[in-house]
Structure 1
Amino acid sequence: MNIAVRYQSRSGNTRGVAEAIGKAVGVEAQDCSVPLDEAAGLLFLGGAVYGARLDEKMRAYIEQLDPQGVKKVALFGTSALVKSGAAQMRERLEERHIKVLDGDFYCRGAFTFMHRGHPDAEDLRQAAAWARVLIDSSKD
């Protein structure tokens, strides 16, 4: 199964989680400005929430995804205030008829004085473990 990891991150919090996931599943995590160069059996897709909304770059990335080129998507993200951007990402992906797996990964991300030090080593360990479980359960 071809696996890809894409993310959008302004502060580096979501990038850190994406890199932990990429390392766990053996692929390079790449910014969402990098299009998929081949079909993905599983796309790990991560974004953060800014002012209660997904960043425009993530919205644009989702809009350009080819539903025929992505079998399923696993969502992850970080934020300081809003619980997660997964619901917004899921809605946009499902509107495009792209299958989204249940059980996204989320952790707090540092922003100004809030949640300093996050994602921390434990957050990254949990992200990697979550990704490995999804890979193991996706093997046909």
Structure 2
Amino acid sequence: MKTQVLYATMTGHSKKIAHAIAKDLDTKAHDLKDDPIIPNCDLLLIVSGIYSGEAKPELLNYVKNLSPTLIKKVALITSSTRNSAQGSLRQTLVDTGINVEPEEYLCQGGFLFKAMGHPNKDEIEGAVTFAQKLVKEPVLS
């Protein structure tokens, strides 16, 4: 299965998670700030945090331009101090016509003094395990 990883980060947590996943899956972690061109893939893993209750606006704008003919399925991996899911990101992807994995991996994020030390090693390993599980599943068109 052709898999790609895209991450958007403010604190470096999503980068850490994305690189761990990419290393395990032997693929590349693309940083949103580089405005990457994502190659055709069966599965795109998007790793991002929730900031003030929302996805990064730059990420929302970026995914509006993804093509459902090039990206078969997207799965979301989220770190958040409030354990919030990516509602607006998920909806934007659905509106674009992209198949989105119903299950989302959520892990504790840390910001300033709140939840320092997160995501921790176990949470990062959990994200890798989640990605491994998805790679083994067939992708429905």
Q: For 2:119 and 2:138, how far apart are their aligned partners in 1?
A: 26
Shift of 1:20: 1.5
SS where residue 69 of structure 2 aligns?
helix
What does residue 108 of structure 1 align with? 108
Q: For 2:84 and 2:53, how far apart are their aligned partners in 1?
A: 9
Residue 132 of structure 2 corresponds to residue 93 of structure 1: no
Q: For 1:45 and 1:31, how far apart are their aligned partners in 2?
A: 10
Q: For 2:62 and 2:29, how far apart are their aligned partners in 1?
A: 15
What does residue 44 of structure 2 align with? 43
TM-score, normalised by the number of residues in structure 1: 0.91
Shift of 1:138: 2.8
Q: CA RMSD of the aligned region, Å?
A: 1.6
Shift of 1:94: 0.4
Shift of 1:84: 2.7
What does residue 64 of structure 1 align with? 65
Amino acid at match of 2:91: E
Residue 94 of structure 2 corresponds to residue 84 of structure 1: no
Amino acid at match of 2:61: A
SS where residue 7 of structure 1 aligns?
strand
Q: For 1:20 and 1:66, how far apart are their aligned partners in 2?
A: 26
Give identity over the alignment, percent. Answer: 27
Shift of 1:139: 7.3
Q: For 1:22 and 1:86, how far apart are their aligned partners in 2?
A: 21
User: Does the 8 A contact of 1:53 with 1:85 survive in 2?
Assistant: no
Q: For 2:62 and 2:95, how far apart are their aligned partners in 1?
A: 14
Q: For 1:39 and 1:79, how far apart are their aligned partners in 2?
A: 29
Shift of 1:49: 1.4
User: Does the 8 A contact of 1:110 with 1:116 survive in 2?
Assistant: yes
Deviation by residue 1:110-135 (Cα, 9 ceiling, x = unmatched): 10111111111111111111111111
What does residue 34 of structure 1 align with? 36
SS where residue 43 of structure 1 aligns?
strand
SS where residue 18 of structure 2 aligns?
helix
Residue 122 of structure 2 corresponds to residue 126 of structure 1: no
Unaligned runs of 5+ in 2: none
Deviation by residue 1:81-126 (Cα, 9 ceiling, x = unmatched): 3x23422211110001100012111111110111111111111111
What does residue 25 of structure 1 align with? 25
